[in-house]
Amino acid sequence: MKQLMFHDDPPFWFETLRNLGLTAYVGSDVGEVIATAARVTPGDYDSWHDAWLSTAERLEAEARGSHPVSACDGLLRASSYYRAAEFFLHGHPEDPRIDHAYERGVSCFRDAIAHFPGVTPVEIPYEDTVLHGYLYRAAGEGPRPAVMMHNGFDGAAEELHFSGALGGQERGYHVLTFDGPGQPAAIHRDGPAFRPDWENVVGPVLDFLTQDPGVDPARTALLGVSLGGYLASRAAAYEPRLAAVVALDGVFDAVSALTAHLPLPHEEAVRRAAAEHDEEMDRLIADARARSPILRWAFDHGRYVTRTSNDREFLAEYARYSFTDGSAGKITCPVLVCEATDDLFYSTAEESDPRKLYRHLTAPKTLLSFTEEEGGDAHCHRVPSVWRSRVFSTGSTTRSDPLRVTRNARLQPLCAGGASRARAATHANPPHIIPGGRDRPKTKEAPWPSAQNARTPCATEKPSWLPPTPSSRPAAAPTACRWTTSPRPRVWARALSSAASATAQASSAL
């Protein structure tokens, strides 16, 4: 996708695009995102924090005094902007702005989802602590398929609400999102740091989820985003209860995203990173991060989430997140590997990391590519509506959803008789690759599983009696509307809420 802002700062543009991608489920507003990003000085982490914090605080203050519908919308968006505010500050973990913005964002999110039916915060027992997450319970009777979702190197469980969890719930799945070790809820609250043996994380989460009588244990899948594509796949290699796994995107060797920026062969960089002392290597890393905004952020954040003391130590730790040990071949459940054709972090000059993972799989597998034409070519496809409809797609010849493929001869045993039969399916069947863009077979959304499973209107949905958007153009800059041809719906909703409040005050005065 063409870089429209921050032309010399790819991480700032990527995070802007990331926030733009949350609009479909009210996780952001286009005007607010553009207006906020326009106030940011490229390369200046303090400027980034101040701009997003200002927008988040303004929205939260407005929301908490608004009509319940406007309040819910505003709190959801504020939660995203608080999360964005602290994103680049992790090079200095003692900075109080980090925890302040994080806690405010979680508070806004939890207050907002209190209005959503079937969405509940949960605490999952894990070793001597708990993992924090959210359970999205689908409508309908009887045991239903379920999807566990987690983010990767830097994403939060709350972000998954907008990018996948609600979409899964609407399509008839129970969805459990969670932050594992090293992810935001753990790392902000003195919990465990990242670990590569993710099966030891997924096991307790599966125990928790499958105790629910409404969950069908034979149709429980795992979806991981970004580095989560490695973590979820790694878990599937050693956790036999998983019915399917989705790597969004596929990651074969995580550290290659960093070593590609170093003036050393990959193998030498990994070997030297593990040395007890290597001052020349330290200088090479320092010089590389001074030149690369990507490395600058990645090393800062990496030390934070792995609790390593310096950049070289983090590089050595990150090298453990790799399938070069052959463990990808241990996966037996069906795997959906997603690929971005213009990934910011993983080069596609030769063989992309998703394709490396795909090549090493011996289980039933599908490769799903996302392209610039459909707006999904960025890392993790930062237009979630694109991957939601394709990953959850059913009723088409592609059958890209591993849980809902009852008419697919390759994966039919999964739904006909559970995971055990799927694992017994022959690997002789040729895997199918689903290209992106204009060559992709047409797909259509699955029908609602039943009339009872149609989405229940909730507090975030606008009532049908709202007046149409007026055609006059607002002039006030703070509302970020000057560049549009008509007022943004979120601004109009705020105006409607204010008008309703004024009317109520006038009525009480009479």
Q: Which residues are catalytic?
A: 226
H-only helix segments in 225-318? 228-238, 256-259, 266-273, 279-291, 293-306, 311-318
CA distance 163 to 21: 8
DSSP label at 193? Answer: P
CA distance 220 to 175: 10
Which amino acid is located at 4 in the chain? L
H-only helix segments in 180-255? 184-187, 199-210, 228-238
H-only helix segments in 114-198? 157-160, 166-170, 184-187
At residue 433, φ and ψ (nearest 5 deg) are -110, 130
Output the DSSP codes for 440-481.
SPP--PPPPSSGGGSPPP-TTSPPTTPPPPPSSPP--GGGT-
3-state secondary structure of 135: strand
- Structure-token pair, residue 106: 């979680």
Q: Please check whether residue 305 is in contact with residue 317, taking contact to mean a CB–CB distance below 8 angstroms.
A: no
CA distance 78 to 88: 17
CA distance 312 to 319: 11
Q: Which residue has the tokens 């606008």?
A: 462
At residue 362, φ and ψ (nearest 5 deg) are -115, -10
3-state secondary structure of 432: strand
CB-based contacts of 131, cutoff 8 Å, min separation 6 = 123, 124, 178, 179, 180, 181, 185, 186, 201, 204, 205
Task: Report how far apart, in Å, the C-alpha atoms of 68 and of each of 179, 482, 494 are.
Answer: 28, 27, 11
- Structure-token pair, residue 111: 């207050």
- Structure-token pair, residue 288: 């590389």
Burial class, 126, CB count within 10 angstroms (exposed 0-12 / middle 13-18 / buried 19+): buried
- Quick one: which H or E segment has residue 82? helix 68-85
